[in-house]
Amino acid sequence: MMAAGLMGRTLEYTLGYLKSENIDTINSKSREMMAVAVAVGSTKDGDDDDGRPMLAMVNGAWADQHFPLKPLYKEKILKDTFNCESKTVDFATKAVKVRKEVNAWAKAVSGGLIRNFLDPGHSKYRHSAHPCKWALLQRNMA
């Protein structure tokens, strides 16, 4: 989702990092992964009667109010291409509230499979000026 909004050298660097020739290839692979996630399905407790692993894939984008997403990017890329929810939030003064909101959202849309997307005790972002921003970047890069 991030690469789809980039241009110039930043896009070139990101494509190189992702070992992809162009953004269309990335978008195509992303759609394939989302289709697999939907086809596999899930149960509330994550158990499957036939022993198959359960898969949950959620797409969400939270942007700091000081750096709002461009409307065209939100509509055409996030919503239309990736079926992604997006929201503008206040990372600077409401990080704890945002963390709780993100966790509740992830739990709801994953059918309970993703319960704690952002951990309140994660040492790398606990003392950061923007703890949720740091955590989201870290989780998306993993």
C-alpha–C-alpha distance, residues 55 and 38, integer Å = 9
Average pLDDT over residues 61-73: 87
Average pLDDT over residues 29-40: 75
The pTM of the whole model exceeds 0.85: no
- The model's confidence at residue 123, banded by pLDDT at 50, 70 and 90, is very low
Average pLDDT over residues 35-45: 61
Query: How high is the pLDDT of residue 4?
Result: 79
Among residues 19, 28, 23, 21, which one has the least CA distance to residue 7?
23
Taken in order of first residue, the domains within the chain and their CATH numbers are: 2-43+56-137 (3.30.497.10)
Percentage of the chain beyond pLDDT 70 is 72
pLDDT at 55 over 80: no
Which amino acid is located at 119 in the chain? Answer: D
Query: How high is the pLDDT of residue 141?
Result: 40
Query: How high is the pLDDT of residue 52?
Result: 65
Query: How high is the pLDDT of residue 91?
Result: 82
Query: How high is the pLDDT of residue 138?
Result: 41
Query: How high is the pLDDT of residue 104?
Result: 92
Q: What is the pLDDT of residues 81-106, one digit of tens each?
A: 788 888 999 888 888 898 899 889 98
Residues with Cβ within 8 Å of 86's Cβ and at least 6 positions away in sequence, in order, are 60, 61, 62, 63, 69, 74, 78, 79
pLDDT at 76 over 60: yes
